[in-house]
Amino acid sequence: MRKSFLSGVLAAFATAAAAAAPLQVSALHPLMADLARQVGGDRVKVVDLVGEGGNPHRFEPRPDDLARMQASALVLAAGKGLEPYLNRLHDSLQGVRVVEVGSNIPSLTLTRDGDGAAGTPDPHWWHGVENMRRAARVVALALADKDPAGKVDFLANAQTYGARLELMQRWATSELAKVPRSQRKLVTAHNAFAYFAKEFDFTVIAVAGLNAEQNNTPQALAQTIEAVKLSGVKAIFPEYKANAKVLESIAAASATTLAAPLIADGNGSGQDAGFEAMFRHNVQSITQALAAR
């Protein structure tokens, strides 16, 4: 009696201790934070270092970010060269595992300078639904490595999430089927949609000078306008929360429409935060702008 009472108390204590001390996971990309929440559930406490609306291309860890990472069991990076500071990070963190979630996902190569040099891996793998399903499993195994008691939960969560993404993928395929072949072209402000284009049978039209932050020479602008006209596409896509001035003038000069902005880096905020919201937002924007009417 006494023994079973004691073991009951101990078990309750152990449960309370587990519940009281979730695994701290830091993320260097808002969508890696999303994956950690989806897969980790109550067993993890996620620190989103870039934060809603933040730009993962521009993020550089400051001393307080380093302290938060050092206090974590695990750091999740997107990988594929998105975080050029990772080597330095490995050196400065003591005993904290840094996982590059995208590292085993097949790479597409950048065709022009934008978020990296031409010929290097395109870091934007999170626009592939298939890739995100794979990434959920990578995150589940990384969490299980630090919290073996949670392994069954993590794998089950990754599976549930993956099943939800599969439904979303089917929804996207049927929505995007409304876009005729001649319009299945993405002219975007930010060269970020190659993985999306590959999965859903679109072509990315690489044009120079669409990024609002680049210096747009008159020659680059003229070339862009020419490329947009040649493509026959009826709309072009600015980027969420970015200045669309340059694109407005390109749209006017090429007689195309300016579509609703696309979210390129998972940096939506509020109701646009997280992978599923970003993806649905983008599919809706593309379908609205390019579908046959």
Place of tokens 């790479």: 107
- Kindly give the interhelix angle for 30-40 and 129-146, rounded to the nearest 10 degrees: 60
Tell me whether residue 207 is exposed, middle or buried, using C-beta atoms within 10 angstroms of its C-beta: 0 to 12, 13 to 18, 19 or more. buried
Helices (H), 147-217: 151-176, 194-200
Which residue, 55 or 92, has its beta carbon nearer to Zn ion? 55
User: What is the closest distance, in whole angstroms, from the C-beta atom of residue 102 to Zn ion in the complex?
Assistant: 13
Which residue, 116 or 162, has its beta carbon nearer to Zn ion? 116
Can residue 265 be called a binding residue for Zn ion (CB under 5 A)? yes
Which residue, 83 or 115, has its beta carbon nearer to Zn ion? 115
User: What is the closest distance, in whole angstroms, from the C-beta atom of residue 261 to Zn ion in the complex?
Assistant: 14
Distance separating alpha carbons of residues 142 and 161, to the nearest angstrom: 16
Can residue 158 be called a binding residue for Zn ion (CB under 5 A)? no
Which residue, 139 or 192, has its beta carbon nearer to Zn ion? 192
The β-bridge partners of 74 are: 25, 97
Residues 216-245 that bind Zn ion (CB under 5 A): none
User: What is the closest distance, in whole angstroms, from the C-beta atom of residue 269 to Zn ion in the complex?
Assistant: 16
Tell me whether residue 7 is exposed, middle or buried, using C-beta atoms within 10 angstroms of its C-beta: 0 to 12, 13 to 18, 19 or more. exposed
Q: At a CB cut-off of 8 Å and minimum separation 6, what does 275 contact?
A: 31, 34, 35, 126, 132, 266
Can residue 153 be called a binding residue for Zn ion (CB under 5 A)? no
Residues 98-127 that bind Zn ion (CB under 5 A): 115
User: What is the closest distance, in whole angstroms, from the C-beta atom of residue 273 to Zn ion in the complex?
Assistant: 16
Which residue, 40 or 128, has its beta carbon nearer to Zn ion? 128
Which residue, 83 or 265, has its beta carbon nearer to Zn ion? 265
Given a contact cutoff of 8 angstroms between Cβ atoms, the answer to whether 127 and 121 are in contact is no
User: What is the closest distance, in whole angstroms, from the C-beta atom of residue 40 to Zn ion in the complex?
Assistant: 25
Closest CA to 48 of 70, 67, 71, 25: 25
Classify each residue of 156-172 as buried b or exposed e, where b means 16 or more C-beta atoms within 10 Å of its C-beta: ebbeebbeebeebbeeb
- For Zn ion, the binding residue among 139, 143, 192, 286 (CB under 5 A) is 192
- Give the tokens for residue 221: 């602008």
User: What is the closest distance, in whole angstroms, from the C-beta atom of residue 57 to Zn ion in the complex?
Assistant: 5
Which residue, 110 or 225, has its beta carbon nearer to Zn ion? 110
Interface size with Zn ion, residues (CB under 5 A):
4
User: What is the closest distance, in whole angstroms, from the C-beta atom of residue 85 to Zn ion in the complex?
Assistant: 16
Which residue, 183 or 267, has its beta carbon nearer to Zn ion? 267
Using the rule CB under 5 A, give the single segment among 42-50, 127-135, 140-148, 261-269 that binds Zn ion: 261-269
The helices-and-strands tally (H runs, E runs) of the chain is 10, 8
Length of the chain: 293
Distance separating alpha carbons of residues 250 and 155, to the nearest angstrom: 47
Using the rule CB under 5 A, give the single segment among 11-19, 62-70, 103-111, 192-200 that binds Zn ion: 192-200
User: What is the closest distance, in whole angstroms, from the C-beta atom of residue 209 to Zn ion in the complex?
Assistant: 17
Contact residues: Zn ion, CB under 5 A:
115, 192, 264-265
